Amino acid sequence: MPADHRFARLAALPGRPERPEVWLLGSSPQSGEWAAELGLPYAFADFINPSGAAIANHYRQHFTPFGVSPAPQVTAAAWVLCADSDDQAERLASSSRMAFTLFLQGTFIPVPPVETALDFLAQHPGSVEALGRRRRSIVGSPIRVRAGIEALAAEYGADEVMIVTITYDHAARRRSYELIADAFGLARSG
């Protein structure tokens, strides 16, 4: 960056003396084309478009080892919520489902408390089914979530899966990440 650029102070990354690795995050066929053409690793936003496996496959088939990456790399980014039981996870997921349902209708709201979301979803019984056709979610107990993540990775032929968990309660979000880490035998830090 030029010295007078407002982000010039960000030139030094903590813990990494080299440049950050550039990836292309996308959710459409066009983003896959660009990633393949530019030789970039590709992260597909399955949480936006749940039909990206064919796009990821096209990316791999048309990858040009040109830029950053000598071979195609695929990450599938998914919406995941894990709790101690399937019922508890479904209950917690209601907050995100309400917010996303309204988002699709053009109404933007903060992620609501679970009780508010449950009331909304009870008053709009078809909204969850309609949302399910537009957005994949992996929701449940650790066993169910691990199976869902593994199935997603297999569907995409993904080298890795990135997860995002949207909940009203931060403690529930943190617990979700802990349960997922435990389900995959990953060590906790801090």
Q: Which DSSP category does 186 fall into?
A: P
Q: What is the mean pLDDT of residues 85-104?
A: 93
Q: Where are the alpha helices (DSSP H) in 26-113?
A: 29-38, 53-61, 86-104
For residues 32 and 64, the answer to whether their CB atoms sit within 8 Å is: no
22-183: CATH topology is TIM Barrel (3.20.20)
pLDDT tens, 151-177? 999 999 999 999 999 999 999 999 999
Query: What pLDDT does residue 125 have?
Result: 82
Euclidean distance between CA atoms 83 and 6, whole angstroms: 42
* CA gap 103, 105 in Å, rounded: 5
Shortest CA distance to 100 belongs to which of 68, 67, 133?
133
User: What confidence tens digit (pLDDT) does each residue in 41-66 have?
Assistant: 999 999 888 889 999 999 999 999 97
Domain ranges of the chain: 22-183
Q: Could you tell me if 68 and 19 are in contact, meaning their C-beta atoms sit under 8 angstroms apart? A: no
Instruction: Name the burial class of residue 65, with classes exposed (0-12), middle (13-18) and buried (19+) by CB atoms within 10 angstroms of its CB.
Output: exposed
Instruction: Please report, as a single letter, which amino acid is at residue 149.
Output: I
